[in-house]
Amino acid sequence: MFNTKTISKLYTPEQVAEILQLNTNTVYSLIKRGEIIAKKIGKVYRISANSIFFAFSGLDADLFQKQQEDFNNLSLIEKELTQARQGL
């Protein structure tokens, strides 16, 4: 049914606190604010490894990736701008 290839590792808030060297209350606060996405199963939260990674690098990683894409497309953008200006 499920295996390690189809589901990422899940952690408890206590495990996340230990991994990130944070207070457990801080982890619960991050969950409550939506900065860490967690699923409550019964009385216990479960947090995916992807959620932890995104919480601490998601926006920075996305910005870096988009900057790289912009840099790679710079010559195409300049070409399009030149053509648009000539059409005016």
Q: Tens digits of per-residue pLDDT, 55-70?
A: 777 666 667 777 888 8
Query: Which pLDDT value is given to residue 59?
Result: 62
What residue spans define the domains of the chain? 10-86
Residue 46 gets the label, from left (phi > 0), alpha (psi -120 to 50) or beta, of: beta
Query: Which pLDDT value is given to residue 13?
Result: 97
22: three-class secondary structure by DSSP: coil
pTM: 0.58
Structure tokens at 29: 């606060």
DSSP state of 73: T
